[in-house]
Amino acid sequence: MSDAANPMTAADVQAIVEKSAFLSWLGLEILDLKDGEITLRATWRPEWVANPKIGQTQGGILAALLDFAANFALVEHHGGPAPTVDLRVDYHRLAKKGDLIAKGRVIKAGRQISTSEATVHDLDDKLLASARGTFMAPRPPG
């Protein structure tokens, strides 16, 4: 966790990713973190495919990326990851084989509840899915 004097950096978030088996499996690379926004890349895996006939990526993968990006857009404010209270996901088009780019942006950073949004695009910058979520501020240790 960080504090207001030492906000989390992209390297700090990458370290969290590397300690998580699931996030590491998603192949997350934090590209940018600043001013309440985060950008990351997820490396495509054959295990993501839900429908082999058309090569469609499972929607749960997109939802996980959206949840992560919306949540971690808040790390500069909250000092670390926050529990998800609610996440509304909209799917706009099929995701197929290829890496994905997720972006999160803070809408409102509150003391107890915060709101942020996220998008997932393919490498051609086509919007695949979007979400808006609310997150509870983490409790201070102790």
Q: What CATH code is carried by the domain that includes residue 57? A: 3.10.129.10
- Please identify which residue in the block is written with the tokens 């983490």: 138
Inside any domain, residue 108: yes
Inside any domain, residue 44: yes
Inside any domain, residue 120: yes
Residue 84: domain span: 10-136
Residue segments in the chain with a per-residue pLDDT below the cut of 70? 1-6, 139-142
Q: Give, in order, the Cα–Cα distances in Å from 26 to each of 67, 73, 138.
A: 13, 18, 24
Inside any domain, residue 1: no
Sign of the four-CA dihedral 30, 94, 49, 71: positive
Inside any domain, residue 3: no
- Please identify which residue in the block is written with the tokens 């915060």: 114
**For the whole model, what pTM was predicted?**
0.92
Inside any domain, residue 142: no
Inside any domain, residue 141: no
Closest listed residue to residue 42, CA positions, set 56, 57, 59, 23: 23
The answer to whether 67 touches 88, Cβ cutoff 8 Å, is no
Q: At 93, give phi and psi (nearest 5°).
A: -160, 160
How many domains are there within the chain?
1
Instruction: Count the alpha carbons within 13 Å of 49 in the hemisphere toward its beta carbon.
Output: 11
Inside any domain, residue 2: no
Which tokens in the block code for residue 124?
Answer: 């051609």
pLDDT at 142: 54
